[in-house]
Structure 1
Amino acid sequence: MADGTGSGRSRLSALHHDILHHIITYLPVTEAAGAAGLARDWRHLWRSYPLVLKDARIPEAARDAVVPRVLHDHPGNFRAVILPDCRLASLDRELPAWPRLLVDKRTEKLLLAYRWVMDQPNPARLLPADILRCDSLQELTLDFWTFPSGTEVLLPRLRTLTMVRIGTSDQDLESLIAASPVLQSLRLIVNSPKHVRLRSKSLMCALVGLSTVEELTVVDTPLLARLCLFVPRNGVRIRIVCAPNLRALGYLDTRVLKLQIGDSVVRSDRMVSASTVVPSVKILALTVNFGVFEEIKMLASFLRCFPNVDTLHIESALHGPSVTANEPTWEHHAKFWQEISPIFCLRSHVKKMVIHDFRGDQNEFEFLKFVAMNAEELQSLLVASHKEILSSADKVNEIKDELQCLQFPTSISAVLRVSPKAAILWRLRKACILTIDDPFEC
């Protein structure tokens, strides 16, 4: 577009070079390279701006050839190399030194997702050791690799680390965290370590999802603000030793999780003591099967450990094989909620409560009756329906009618949300976005 002066100079070319660099960053790599042909002043841009390479923006048929060529030919540093469709056979063949090149080009953001071909006998390939010595990296995402055991790690600028389907030992993971002195966000999804120990002076957010972890210990994390757990395995133990600024915690699953605070294990048949209280937590998420008596007792014990919670999420679990014929009836559960001693956070602190996957079972309503009688500070109660009742208008109306019968001391009304819950992958991504205040809102 001409500037109207007759000079023929485009308005874009009149922009400052820093702005032009920023514009090119948002273009697919093939278009960014082609921008040099737009005007004489643009010819230097491709060669001078830090490379942003995303293989998803390259036509699939051309990726094997284009990715190695772009990495080899670009003379400047690499701002971001995003390869979710990393085809290592072609990359190794065309550019054998690509791991070292990423280091030499001062890569800041790197995503390497190894694309496994089904007929390969050993799908998880060994991660090149050079990647773990790229001292310019600020954000690293690895998917489907085997960690090179015993490798020296040097990641002094790394702030965000995501590991998905990574084969690694307990000790190598602990060494990796220790070698990342400014690490703020850690996501571990479907990984192999059995024991995860978090010891970091900089870590602010940790997420463990869909994992086989048997024990997660928060050893010494003075800045840790949120600890998120999604779909833990049976028998997992969570131990909190030192996390003085922990603000958001969940999901603590009463079905499978053993919670230890300091040296004390939280039990359903033992009153919580001063040594098993975490006063810093403000947002708490729990999972419970309201049909299992032992689980609702554990729910009460968990709630007593976090006296200052003001936002409470409770996920109502499916009534699966764990509910046996000799489980107490809902009348027995109702008696428990009627006779239980006050729970401090519910009585004096909780202002917002969300019940997820609500199906309208009588045991769920018995808990809501307890909340209605005791939550003196409650300002908002959202009941999010389970997907199985969405197809039944009669069931939805029945739940609405029962919710209307609840009377709260703060004169609020329970609101029923009839919409499906967000997918687990979206919830995993959202949980580590520190600008989102509540990681369990969905």
Structure 2
Amino acid sequence: MDNVVASLSKKRRRDKLELQEPSANKDGGYENFDLISRLPDEILGSIISLLPTKEAARIPILSSRWRHLWRSAPLNLVIDYNLLLKRSWKERDCTAIISKILAAHPGPARHLSLRSICLHNNLYARFDGWFRSPALNGLEELDFYGRNSQSLVPPSVVRFVPTLRLASIGGCDLSRIDIAPTLLLPQLKQLKLYDIAISELALHRLLFGCTVLESLDLQSIHGIRIVRIVSLTLRSIVVYVHNQADMVELIIEYAPCLERLIQLGKEGPRTSRVIAAPKLAVLGYLTPRISEFELGTIIAKEIISISLTTSVRTVRILVLDSIGPNLDVVVGFLRYFPCIEKLYIQSHLRMGMKNVRQYDTLDPIECLELHLRAIVLKTYEGKRPDVNFAKFFVLNAKVLEVMKFGVCGNTCNEKWMANQHRRLQLDNKASRDAQFEFRRDYDSYSFQYNKHIHDMWVLDPFDRSLCKCCQLVS
């Protein structure tokens, strides 16, 4: 009995210390002052909901003040590959843990990510049961992947549509889900669909129901040849096509808020038409594999021949894939997008490309005179076609601030750079303040893969210098 009384007394003293007022010490500081624990439960719950699942579940051991908070905070359940590798877990371990967590937490839920567990036939019933769990009431973010584009999706997933703000769904067959014309997703702002099968009608209905959608990411969409987009709210569109049998044509009929259009992949879409996007500021990744690209009155065929009647002055960032690199083609784009501030070039060297072009001061290029401040050249080899291409900008870009060279191979040493300095005539640069940086190019495809491509707070989604995990050549 004495032991029980002593234990209770010790507990009361510990809890009192956690809640007592701060006491000043002789240095003017404070002792025993836990600012975080003094925050209201609602704020603490929000903080916990942002933590990884493992760390959030450990919160109760920090303080008795925190013991009830994990269950009262919105659930953040993420089962990812890093967790599997660290714990050497197998699929059956994960499914048991997920079921246990959903049974213990009363809800609501903020984030559910099951990317590392494939939705195959053996787990269909288990996924359906998880999606029906009360712990997932009010779910805001959903991320899961089936085994392939033939995997069926449990119909219970539809119950999340009133509250979802972010959805990433892959490896599934959405063509078998009844997407009614009246389906509404009133909170959804980001939607990513990858490696899925869906009909043109179903996709149209899905997008029509996303009344506040800002970011759309379509990657390897099967069963659909033409994608038509009409949206009053979309600000960012990314399209990735890997197979010629997939999406062939992208038509943006009306997108008054669209700021970014980024096309990735090896095969297209073969034809892209932007009919009305008056705020478009970021455009790429334009490659010779695109048979035809239309933006207003601009028509580009395989990024070789271009025709237009008027220019587009809204585009500030342009990403091009150029074989050669072809200086005449790139200069042509600069005339048609006269307000470009950042130019990214993924070059594919072709010997014999002369790139000898004199700048006609009687026919100035507005972009070079007033706007172009940054150029990034990837897969730069320092051979004659490369040098002549880059030298044109060194000698004629009058407001250039920085030019970055992503150098192929192991040639980027001091001797090689001194030789490039001479050949590029950097001492005769048109912009007095221009800086030139040579770096070994470890990632020749970093234009195509960027985790911040939809983050609208990043003005330039291709600028990797803003993120430590992305700092390669940017």
Could you tell me the TM-score, scaled by structure 2's length?
Answer: 0.77
Shift of 1:307: 1.3
Residues 45-96 of structure 1 deviation map (CA, whole Å, 9 limit, x = unaligned): 2332211111234742431201123224422211111111124467544564
Per-residue CA shift, 1:188-212, capped at 9, x if unaligned?
A: 2233343222211111111123544
Name the counterpart of 1:185. 215
Aligned counterpart, 1:51:
75
Matched, 1:126 2:152: yes
1:218 matches 2:252: yes
Instruction: State yes or no: 1:252 paired with 2:286.
Output: yes
1:99 corresponds, among 131, 138, 153, to 131
Post-superposition shift, 1:157? Answer: 0.5
User: Residue type of the partner of 2:406?
Assistant: A
Structure 2 gaps of 5+ residues are 1-9, 20-33, 464-473
- Rounded Cα–Cα distance in structure 2 between residues aligned with 1:269 and 1:164: 32
Q: Aligned pairs, how many? A: 421
Q: Which amino acid aligns with 2:166?
A: E
Residue identity opposite 2:179 in structure 1: T
Q: Report the CA distance shift for 1:73/1:95 in structure 2 as closer, same or farther (over 3 A).
A: farther
Given that residues 248 and 282 in structure 1 are in contact (C-alpha distance below 8 angstroms), is that contact kept between their aligned partners in structure 2? yes
Matched to 1:47, the amino acid is: R
* Structure 1 match to 2:468: none
Q: How far, CA to CA, are the matches of 2:134 and 2:329 in structure 1?
A: 50
Equivalent residue for 2:333?
Answer: 302
Deviations 1:229-263 (A, max 9, x none): 22341572221111111111112114545221236
Asked if the contact 1:271–1:301 (Cα under 8 Å) also holds between the matched residues in 2, the reply is: no
Matched, 1:154 2:215: no
- When residues 390 and 163 of structure 1 are mapped into structure 2, their CA distance, relative to the original with a 3 A threshold, is farther
**Correspondence 1:272 to 2:308:** yes
Q: 2:393 aligns with which of 353, 364, 371?
A: 371
Distance in structure 1 (CA, Å) of the matches to 2:362 and 2:384: 18
1:237 is matched with 271
> Amino acid of the residue matched to residue 46 of structure 2?
H
Quote how far apart the aligned CAs of 1:5 are. 8.0
SS of 1:409's equivalent in the other structure is coil
Match of residue 231 from structure 2 = 200
Residue 119 of structure 1 aligns with which residue? none
**Rounded Cα–Cα distance in structure 2 between residues aligned with 1:188 and 1:205:** 11
Alignment partners' CA distance in 2, 1:425 and 1:51: 35
Cα pair distance change 1:52/1:14, threshold 3 Å: same
Q: 1:401 aligns with which of 419, 422, 425?
A: 422
Structure with more relative contact order (C-alpha pairs < 8 Å, separation 6 or more): 1
Q: CA RMSD in A?
A: 3.4
- Corresponding position: 1:80 with 2:102: no
Question: In percent, how many aligned pairs have the same letter?
Answer: 25
**Alignment-derived partner of residue 143 in structure 2:** 111
Query: Which of 58-67 and 3-12 deviates more?
Result: 3-12
Matches of 2:378 and 2:416, distance apart in 1:
16
> How far 1:303 sits from its partner (Å)?
2.5
Q: Displacement of 1:106 after TM fit?
A: 1.2
- 2:71 counterpart letter in structure 1: R
Question: In terms of mean alpha carbon deviation, does 190-199 or 8-17 score higher?
Answer: 8-17
- 2: CA distance between counterparts of 1:67 and 1:246? 43
Q: Secondary structure at the match of 1:148?
A: helix
Residue identity matched to 1:355: L
Deviation at 1:20, TM superposition (A): 3.1
* Structure of greater Rg: 2
Secondary structure in 2 aligned to 1:125? coil
Structure 1: 5+ residue runs without aligned partners?
117-121, 324-328
Once the two structures are TM-superposed, the CA of residue 173 in structure 1 deviates from its matched residue by 2.3
CA distance, structure 2, for counterparts of residue 136 and residue 384 of structure 1: 44
Q: Structure 1's 385 and 4: CA in aligned 2 closer, same or farther, altered over 3 A?
A: farther
Tell me which residue corresponds to 2:404. Answer: 382
